[in-house]
């Protein structure tokens, strides 16, 4: 893949804007189309594209597999933890109004942002982990056997 100079340069130019767009979708998801799931997939696409062009080992230098697994757990804990906090404050699971009893609308906004962030982190980490699993398996047949 070293001889594909244009592809490598374009990929390096696109990874940053893809991540910025993922952050935009993440933090504007409650106001416009998008949210955690879409942002997580877009974020993962940046790393998957980088891995396809530069190789699995290079992308694992940027985002190691152990860190991907930690982010998977962090995202799930953020999502479920928001619901547990609501229950501990005496409300139903994921009743965001309990997060700020003086201003329930602010509690709703904070809860939605926390939930969407948890979903985004989890989806991105799982998508990257799936890519690592498929890209890291040994080939069934050699390239010469085609």
Spatial separation of the C-alpha atoms in residues 139 and 146, rounded to whole Å: 12
Spatial separation of the C-alpha atoms in residues 60 and 77, rounded to whole Å: 24
Tell me, what's the pLDDT at 96? 87
Angle at 74 between CA 76 and CA 136, to 5 degrees: 95
Tell me, what's the pLDDT at 1? 53
Instruction: State the alpha helices, DSSP H only, in the chain.
Output: 5-27, 36-54, 56-62, 65-88, 104-135
More confident residue, 143 or 123: 123
Spatial separation of the C-alpha atoms in residues 9 and 1, rounded to whole Å: 12
The pLDDT tens digits for 94-126 are: 898 888 889 989 888 888 889 999 999 999 999
Tell me, what's the pLDDT at 44? 98
The pLDDT tens digits for 17-32 are: 999 999 999 988 767 7
């Amino acid at each position: 893949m070293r001889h594909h100079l244009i592809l490598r340069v374009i990929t390096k130019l696109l990874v940053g804007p893809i991540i910025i767009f993922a952050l935009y979708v993440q933090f504007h998801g409650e106001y416009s189309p998008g949210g955690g799931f879409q942002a997580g997939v877009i974020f993962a696409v940046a790393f998957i594209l980088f891995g396809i062009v530069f190789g699995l080992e290079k992308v694992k230098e940027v985002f190691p597999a152990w860190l991907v697994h930690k982010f998977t757990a962090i995202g799930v804990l953020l999502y479920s933890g928001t619901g547990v906090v609501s229950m501990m404050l005496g409300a139903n699971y994921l009743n965001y109004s309990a997060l700020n009893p003086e201003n329930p609308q602010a509690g709703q906004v904070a809860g939605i942002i926390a939930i969407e962030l948890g979903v985004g982190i989890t989806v991105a980490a799982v998508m990257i982990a799936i890519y690592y699993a498929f890209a890291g398996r040994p080939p069934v047949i050699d390239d010469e056997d085609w």
